[in-house]
Structure 1
């Protein structure tokens, strides 16, 4: 009887221990959920950006960018080395524009070029040796008709020789930080050593679009060329079908820029579009889908990327968004009692008159309507203590959407004035010996404005440690009972 009672007592104790274990687990779960909620509420959750749902072959390099803010909205293989075909004529054109005083002055086509070549991957405008033609007509012929003979003529006329002009191209590429690109000719024919990336071409195109003449040339659907001593007057049409109303690939918002195609590069298209004041640039390289002699998939890819950008994003003036943003104030420790600002540095809102920012459309609309607001987060150097000299770097401030966390603008906080330390010589020649305690104004930023976060970290961490210790204690008790428990057998009742 004693053995039976002891076994029953042991089993009951074991059951209670198990129940306590489950109870502790439930408590831990509740605490974890509770503090996860606190963490979520204590910071802004960044929403996932809109996803492009179009279909692009994995081998294609593509990039979509806002032309005003420079923000990349979509990219695929943007840093892959690719053949650019005739899209490098963008670089040839901008160099010619920057090095030609009078575009309407007639120039003579030099004898050095091969102006009779027509076979293979060499597209032609049809210029002839000793032809008198304006540089303007040459550039239109190069960019609209994609004449490789026109590109060679421009290179010789501007650079003195094609090799010299190629050096100018690589120098300009270096200035624009096109670090993954190298050029060996002016027209884009497939040659060893000629490589670019979509990201580098974006840098080039953003730069070129700042030139109004370039922008006018690449946005022209057709152009009337004057007669010359070697050619009749003629009208040339842009090879960019996005600009041609009669084309099945016409896109009403398209504004330029340049096509390209070679056997090595496939179909390439650098294009721009404007809708509701938003200016986008799209880059598509490596289209291998042909219809007859044309690479055709680059056009629907480009159109779908433009629509993705226009439907999901909006570009706005940063100065308009930040017109009501309050100045940042930072309290300096150990300041002189003679300091007129009581040790407070005030940083005026940034001067962003010519700055644009591209945001998700809802974020931009909510900020404009007042349903969302801009918040400032500072990152200050380790200790903000006098003496401070005007021009010292105090830290950085990042302005973002309170609702989504999307970053609008980040800039350095540069001390706008000197702050003398306590005990230093004041402006009237007297020595300040008293060390004052700071008297910060409202909404002042001290060395850290994130101290509250520690409470959310330390408190739950302490509770979790306590619960773990408690569980371990219970387990040891359970082990102890197991150690002294007598073997328990089941008997069959006959």
Structure 2
């Protein structure tokens, strides 16, 4: 019964989250990020990742979308769903998580040996709190933490994976399937940049403890019998570590993921002046590109001078810099503005109504793209007749940019138009005389009149002919008589 209630609660929560995000679909426009060079010339930002999805977390507007629904291995981004299932089962209360102790035997470790898997040095049968396991899962991306969580929450790893995929269905993720809790293996373990962003939004919106841990550059796990002084762990997210070349003060963290088959994957979010963006990238190169070797030689202090270049971090920094520097809130439609008049039939005192937008429309927009480039396509209902009330929807306005519909806004009447019975009768009469029925009826009447005229003509003709040729008159013959 408890499990059913938890599922229902999760569904309701997801429904609330996506209801809040529902209006976002009207703005699924993808821009091309640009930068301005030293000469003031604007050029396209080079992105290294194969899949890119960037969304405004406040409005839900998608601003960059490159292969966002391509199914690819998510590597350790898989652990984001592992964290979600754990939190859904235990709740996000920190004290509850700290008091819930978990451990597992060699079944949590056997598949990880000799794989190079990330670890928090948790040992078989070491008792660790759910809170510390969550920290180990999200901060250094510990694979053994994922398996220990799976065994304790799902009774076994297979059962936990079923819970992960049930959550996939609840969140409406159409291109995601999990086959393990850590993302180290790729068979039937895939997702998309767009689906991963949805998982991130769900966890950030619902669980403050998730937000806290993914934003922690380091953490010390509580002492255990195996680690009496506790265990220090550091984040694999260099963008929140001020001692790295990739530090970006506006970034609030989330998570990395890296395997040979997946490349470098990364989910992060950043905040500036109250504006929040979430970025998910997948499939960035693992090795330094040949073209970047000379960059490192020219600038020994740059990220390109190191043996390993983290292109996923470079992509995120460039995307945030472009968004925060270039995207501004622009008003496209003012709800109090008048659009046009439309003709109204049968109006008593006037034969028109004035239209205005039912609501305004604004969104984040690049400063280098004139809003005049957005087409306003107006469609008005056919044959509008009185009565018309204020607020009646009489048409729509589509905002279109390069063939993509940004929004569809109802056009409503600002005018009340009463119906005129006299005009209605006059129009009906006029309409009747121009109608097909009138033409058919008229044709029948004319045919009848024509037939009658022909009949009368034939009758008169017959009488006339009889008058010209009378028959012999009996008893009128003259004869001679003899006397």
Shorter-chain TM range is 0.5 to 0.7
Contact 2:345/2:383, CA 8 A, preserved across alignment: no
Find out whether 1:126 has 2:121 as its counterpart. yes
Aligned to 1:86: 76
Aligned to 2:233: 236
Aligned to 1:96: 86
Contact 1:267/1:298, CA 8 A, preserved across alignment: yes
Contact 1:398/1:407, CA 8 A, preserved across alignment: no
2:220 to 221, 224, 231: 224
Find out whether 1:193 has 2:188 as its counterpart. yes
Aligned to 1:313: 327
TM-aligned CA deviation for residue 327 of structure 1: 6.5
Change (3 A) 1:304 1:408: same
Q: Distance in 2 between matches of 1:62 and 1:322?
A: 30
TM-aligned CA deviation for residue 265 of structure 1: 1.2
Contact 1:357/1:408, CA 8 A, preserved across alignment: no
Find out whether 1:396 has 2:390 as its counterpart. no
Change (3 A) 1:161 1:346: farther
Contact 2:94/2:209, CA 8 A, preserved across alignment: no
What is the SS of the residue equivalent to 1:204?
helix
Higher RCO structure, 1 or 2 (CA under 8 Å, sep 6+): 1
Contact 1:261/1:267, CA 8 A, preserved across alignment: yes
2:256 to 247, 256, 259: 259
Change (3 A) 1:222 1:281: same
What is the SS of the residue equivalent to 1:290?
coil
Change (3 A) 1:192 1:374: closer
Aligned to 1:109: 102
TM-aligned CA deviation for residue 361 of structure 1: 2.8
What is the SS of the residue equivalent to 1:189?
coil
Aligned to 1:166: 161
Q: Distance in 1 between matches of 2:413 and 2:161?
A: 47
TM-aligned CA deviation for residue 386 of structure 1: 5.5
Find out whether 1:55 has 2:69 as its counterpart. no
Write out aligned runs for 1:244-283 (5 A): 244-283=241-280
Q: Distance in 1 between matches of 2:352 and 2:425?
A: 9
Higher Cα Rg, which structure: 2
Change (3 A) 1:123 1:109: same
Find out whether 1:300 has 2:314 as its counterpart. yes
Aligned to 1:380: 380
Contact 2:395/2:412, CA 8 A, preserved across alignment: no
Q: Please, which runs of 5 or more residues in structure 1 have no aligned partner? A: 1-47, 424-431, 439-494
Contact 1:261/1:268, CA 8 A, preserved across alignment: yes
TM-aligned CA deviation for residue 83 of structure 1: 1.1
Contact 1:86/1:187, CA 8 A, preserved across alignment: yes
Q: Please, which runs of 5 or more residues in structure 2 have no aligned partner? A: 1-30, 35-42, 289-305, 428-483
> TM-score, structure 1 length as denominator?
0.61
Query: What is the CA deviation profile of residues 468-489 of structure 1, one whole-angstrom value per residue up to 9, with x for unaligned ones?
Result: xxxxxxxxxxxxxxxxxxxxxx
Q: Distance in 2 between matches of 1:327 and 1:72?
A: 29
Change (3 A) 1:405 1:378: same
What is the SS of the residue equivalent to 2:90?
coil
TM-aligned CA deviation for residue 195 of structure 1: 1.5
Change (3 A) 1:374 1:82: closer
Query: What is the CA deviation profile of residues 59-101 of structure 1, one whole-angstrom value per residue up to 9, with x for unaligned ones?
Result: 7323333332333333433333321101122222233223323
2:149 to 151, 154, 164: 154
